[in-house]
Amino acid sequence: MATITGFIEKIKFRNEANGYTVLSVTDQMDGEEVIMVGNLAYATEGDMIQATGIMSEHPVYGEQLQIERYEIKVPQDELSMERYLGSGAIKGIGAALAARIVRHFKADTFRIMEEEPERLSEVKGISEKMAMDIAGQVEEKKDMRQAMMFLQSYGITMNLAARIYQEYGPSLYGVIKENPYRLADDIPGVGFKMADEIAERVGIFTDSDYRIKAGILYILLQASANGHTYLPQEELLTQASELLKVDSQVMEKHLMDMQIDRKLVVKASSGSQLVYSSQYYYLELNTARMLHDLNIRGDIPETEIKANLEKIQKEEAIFLDPLQERAIYEAVNSGLLVITGGPGTGKTTTINAIIRYFEMESMEIFLAAPTGRAAKRMTEATGYEARTIHRMLELVPAGIPGSDSSDIHGAGMGKRGTAGMHFDRNEENPLDADVIIIDEMSMVDISLMHSLLRAVNIGTRLILVGDVDQLPSVGPGNVLRDIIDSGSFNVVKLTHIFRQAAQSDIIVNAHKIHAGEPVDLAKRSRDFLFIRRDNPEAVISASITLLQQKLPGYVHAQPFDIQVMTPMRKGVLGVERLNQALQKHLNPPDKSKKEKEAGGTIYRVGDKVMQIKNNYQMEWEVCNQYGIPVDKGAGVFNGDVGVIREMNEYAELLTVEFDEGKRVEYSFKQLEELELAYAITIHKSQGSEYPAVIIPMYNGPRMLMTRNLIYTAVTRARSCVCLVGLPDAFRSMASNCAEQTRYSGLKARIKEIYDQAESLT
């Protein structure tokens, strides 16, 4: 460890988003320049810094100090005072004025500025107003220095300390000493465990009311990350007791207090108590209300609809079966319609006929899907522009006046993960459409559904399309299934497999998997292949051969467009191990390719990567062939896949290009939001379609090896499915119809709304 004290001569680089700074410091001991790097959001040129860290040799930029802790010092001698004041650190003071101030007050300069600032007006060129302004700046810097030292004394990192100071200012002392669990509510990136560590250092007791309440909310937050909108009370208290090491009976009294504080909502159901964080309860309740309000009935005669349908079928040279015709009748006469069905049942043809029908009526039609890839597929299938739901709702970056994070995440969400992002389209500025069609609805979680409905006017037709047998959304809720199972809305389920689709073994076998029927793995097929391999190494080897040699020419695609999908993250054929093996062969080390190791993963220029969490702040731009930006926006979302195009080691940035040419800059500190994507979990494949998919088939945890998981995987392939491994593993998976429990209450909220409406009529 080395400690260096000196003046900050120049801020060479600073990432304003996270405070990462590269600065040049003149060592007070020998006058030599030292390059330092670290999170110093509030350090300025001219400050005297005492920094401790590890000296390292950067391969490009030479020796530098990696700062682990630092302190901004007050200059002690007259020369240092003059240098500091003349550096520009205090606005309004230049070198000449700094010399006059120090010459007048000598070693007493800083005491005068802090205790008797009005005396600064004794110096020629300083008015009384200017004197007080200078004093204010000095006091602010002093407060900041003291706050940083206070926070670091509790083991809080420099980066987090800067965010805490920015959030609370001088009131941070009370927050840290009395209730550090507020950090988990107020500051993105701070979770319960981090706040709990700080609380332990502060000396807050294990059974503190603050701690128990924060722990309960943390368990519910973790549940939402697993797709749940609530937990049964017994399960919640059991998990909280294990986390907090506090008896569950002690915690029961806090549930009532948290309901009074509107942090929780507890609902009785079938003899048990269901506990929601208020945020998700009201998301479900308001979603149910808006669905009810949209569900109005039209009165256009069937004869008129039938005449238009016959015209469409003749002009488009298509044939609609009775269920497809029924779907179009309902689309015309329903404010809200759900169309569901498996692969090959004509969902796309039905959507196209609906679009054509409403075009004939000169109606404004919007198409959207949850992800960029799903929207692109929708555009290709319909010839009509489709957008992501986020883009249709006009996601606005942070810092724009009027931002309201509840636009995205509903009432009570607070600041976590949104940082002021909002949708411009809402009830005050609804979508200007007569018809809105949403595809891949199984992917839509309760938060996004709530935001969508806020922007849909009553009288606009909303048509929801999806395969209810796919996996539920990654985010909390089970929206499509709950809407269908409520029995309150018009639902058309397409079941007929059309002749052309029936020629595809992908589609035929997908339906067999869903129905629990045996699949002939020995059949010689053009698009559904099973390659037997008896051990994990052989599975990996065969997968690499398929990716590099066999499949690209067969399906007319690049290796990067072909996707390896596996049920699990860990294990011999999990995502983590597969990615290491595939990266080695598809994008091997090369002196011409820059790379960065982070969290045990090597990120290399040319790597295929995936965003693994929603980041509403991340800005992107699309440039033309000359590098001139032609489009820009904000938001990178869980499941977005791209390629690392550039890496700047000096600025510690890498650039990822996502679909549609969207380029996003990541700081090295943000690499935790990315992972390699040569192989992905089947869950992450939702809404995507690939020319070919490779699915390793090997034994794994029964809870992961389920029928709807393999059904989802198979239906992601457009031209070819390659299963590689053990036939018994496939058969076991296809026969396991168990599904993981997902606690979701939208169905119950819909029924409550309809029961209330009936009681009033």
Residue 548 tokens read as: 């590099």
Q: What does R_g of the chain's alpha carbons equal in angstroms? A: 30
345 among annotated binding-site residues: yes
Whether 289 and 281 have beta carbons less than 8 Å apart is answered as no
712 among annotated binding-site residues: no
Interatomic CA distance for residues 223 and 182, integer angstroms: 20
Q: Please measure the distance between the N-terminal and C-terminal CA atoms of the chain and give it in whole angstroms.
A: 77
Interatomic CA distance for residues 237 and 492, integer angstroms: 41
346 among annotated binding-site residues: yes
Interatomic CA distance for residues 745 and 229, integer angstroms: 7
Report how far apart, in Å, the C-alpha atoms of 149 and of each of 2, 137, 139, 162, 398 are.
Answer: 19, 19, 15, 11, 30
Whether 641 and 660 have beta carbons less than 8 Å apart is answered as no
The per-residue b/e assignment along 222-252, b for 16 or more CB within 10 angstroms, e otherwise, is ebbeebbbbbebebbbebbbebbebebeebe
With a CB cutoff of 8 Å and minimum separation 6, the contacts of 567 are 681, 682, 700, 704, 705, 709, 710, 733
Q: Which of 485, 529, 401 is nearest to 750 (CA)?
A: 485
- How many Cβ atoms are within 10 Å of 724's Cβ, its own excluded? 24
Interatomic CA distance for residues 159 and 68, integer angstroms: 11
Whether 550 and 577 have beta carbons less than 8 Å apart is answered as no
Whether 676 and 607 have beta carbons less than 8 Å apart is answered as yes
CA-CA-CA-CA torsion for 609, 612, 616, 620, nearest 10 degrees? 0
Binding positions: 344-348
Binding positions for ATP: 344-348
